[in-house]
Each structure stands twice: as structure tokens, then as C-alpha cells.
Structure 1
Amino acid sequence: MRGPSAAQWFRMTFALNGWSGDWLGSVHEWHHYHMNTHEVLGVVSGAARLQFDGPQGRVETVHAGDAIVIPAACAHCLIEATDDFEVIGAYPGGLRPDIHNGSGAIAPFPLPVRRDPILGAGRGFVLHIGQAGVLQG
């Protein structure tokens, strides 16, 4: 699933699990983080290399169908992407993220939210505590 149908599926799934305030676009090409909220990205189309945990952090390749959970204070940025790369992002409870430049906190905050944005209540977050996690689609 790619393109508009993937965007709609991610939007609906995120909303059913309490993640809203969604947007459609790309990821900033500079290291940034959000202190006030966690973030989920659903890859709608294309592929990209994203870096997590600042300039010395790990780089992950993501593809259409993948979902990425990014804890508050975990820096992230776009390294490179295909021309058709697009993500939909959302936040628990529809929070509006603050945006800070830089490498983020030394240890990102754990994910104390009730519902994984894809798998729902009681599932998923055990894989993601304390670091950005990619759920391959």
C-alpha cells in the first residue's frame, strides 16, 4: 500500500490509537527534536535514510509501509530520500510539537503512552522504549 491509500490507512490507524494532529510531508534535513511529545511517522511512499540520536547516532533505512516511533528528546533528521518519499506524522493526544535544533537529550524519554500508534493498547512499545524504533511494514 502506497500513496493516498497508505496515508489514509496511517491516519485512521493513528487516530484509532489516540495519535492525532497529523501532517503529511517529509522530515527536516537538520537534526531536531521535540521535548514536549513523542512522534510517529508512517512512510506513505518512497524510501529514505533517517538518522536518530544526533549527528553521531544510528542511520536507519525506511520504506513505504514502515512506521517509526520517535521518543520525545530523540533527535532525528533526513539524510537522503527518493524523490517520492513522503511520511505522515502524528502525536499522542494530538499534541503540537515544539521543535528544537540540535542533538536532543543524552537519553530520550521512555514512551509512557497508553497506545502504540499501530498495534494499539498493551502491544508494541516494549520494542521501542528509550530509542527510536522502526516497525517494518
Structure 2
Amino acid sequence: MALKHVEPEMHYVHPTPHSPNSRLPIIVYRGALQDTSAESILSTIEPNAWLKGGQWKTYKIPHFHSNTHECYGIIKGSSTYLLGKSPIDPDTYENGETIGFVLHVKVGDVFVLPAGITHRSLDSEGDYEFIGLYPGTATPEGNGEPRFDMHWGKESVEETKRLAQQVEAVPIPDKDPLYGLGGPLPRIWGEVLSRQRLL
């Protein structure tokens, strides 16, 4: 499928007491998919070594993955996500800033959550459905399925800090899920980490 070039949006969410979140920005490609059939999404993204982990509808339980980044390709409908806030986090940081970021997405959009970002749908419309894809890491059993863990954002502050170290160790993929080698995501994420090393 021919892809039109879409400039990515970037959104940052800070760590909280119970959600590691990430130094890396959330990446959003608005309207990138012309054909949003599951088959077309897979044939577009999987060659870039982001592999299907599942096909789902609205999922309202907050959770995060400490061992992998995650890409969503939206098949149909729309949804509003709350990102970066665990179910037991306060509503604001100590400085009064609101915890969490609300993201609206719809059919044809693709977005990527760095490892550690707590996420859940608040509400959806139009029989919302999406495919979740993960950088190509097979399970230890070698059955070809991508591997991801599940955390519910209810861990202690100490355990969240430990998981944050695990999140930091997840490597940046070599390929952008849509545009492959030379695509925006590896460059953007790499530049963010390089700047922070200089601080």
C-alpha cells in the first residue's frame, strides 16, 4: 500500500508514583492509513519488524508494558485514551500540573506508545477496533508471537521505580512502523536520548 508522508505529532507524559511512563514521546501519525483493513495494516507495518500481538476493541482497564513499545493501527471507529495515569495516581503532580494526557484517535491513525506508558480507553465510538503491533521480539518458545508483559499501575512506588529501570532498558527499534529504515521514530527517540545524555 502506498503511504502518504505524515509528519508525526509528539506528546510527552512525565513519570508518576505508579506509572513509569517514558522520557520518549508518544508518536501519532494522523490519517496515515488509506486502507484500514486488518490485512492492509499488517502488510504495511509487519515488514518493518513490528509484529501483530492482537486485534482488539475498546479496552478500559489501565495498564502498561515494561518490556516493549507498542504500536496501534486503527481499523475503524474512534476512541479517547487517557495516557500516563495509573488508577491510583493523584489527579495532579505536586506542582499542580494535571497528571495524564488525553489523546483522541480515529480510523486511519497510527500511534506508538513507548514502553512504560500507562494507557486505557475512556470511551469509543463507531465500533472501535485496532491492531496492536510490537517490535519484532519472538517469545522464548519461538512461536513467532511478539512478547509483552502486563502491569496494572497498582504497584508500590518502589516497585514502579524498579519497573522504570526495566522500561529504560527497552531498546529503540531500528525501523519506524510505517516508514521503515530512515523513518521518523528511531530518529526522534534517538535524538531525545542523546540530548538527555548531554544534560
Output the TM-score relative to the length of structure 2: 0.57
Corresponding position of 1:81:
124
Shift of 1:91: 0.5
From the two aligned structures, give the one with the greater strand fraction. Answer: 1
- Of Structure 1 and Structure 2, which has the larger fraction of its residues in helix? 2
Q: Is residue 2:115 matched to residue 1:115?
A: no
> Does the C-alpha gap of structure 1 residues 84 and 25 become closer, same or farther in structure 2, counting only changes over 3 Å?
same
State the aligned residue count.
Answer: 128
Q: Which has the larger radius of gyration?
A: 2
8 Å contact kept, 2:58–2:123: no
- Shift of the 26–38 alpha-carbon distance from structure 1 to 2, 3 Å rule, reads same
Partner residue, 1:96: 147
Partner residue, 1:134? none
Root mean square deviation of aligned Cα: 2.5
The one-letter amino acid paired with 1:79 is L
Deviates further, 9-18 or 36-45: 9-18
Q: Which runs of 5+ in 2 are unaligned?
A: 1-33, 87-98, 138-145, 155-159, 193-199
Give the Å deviation of 1:26. Answer: 2.2
TM-score (norm 1): 0.80
**Gaps spanning 5+ residues in structure 1: where?**
131-137
Deviation at 1:128, TM superposition (A): 6.0
> Secondary structure of 2:37's match?
helix
Structure 1 ranges of 4+ moved more than 2 A:
103-111, 126-130
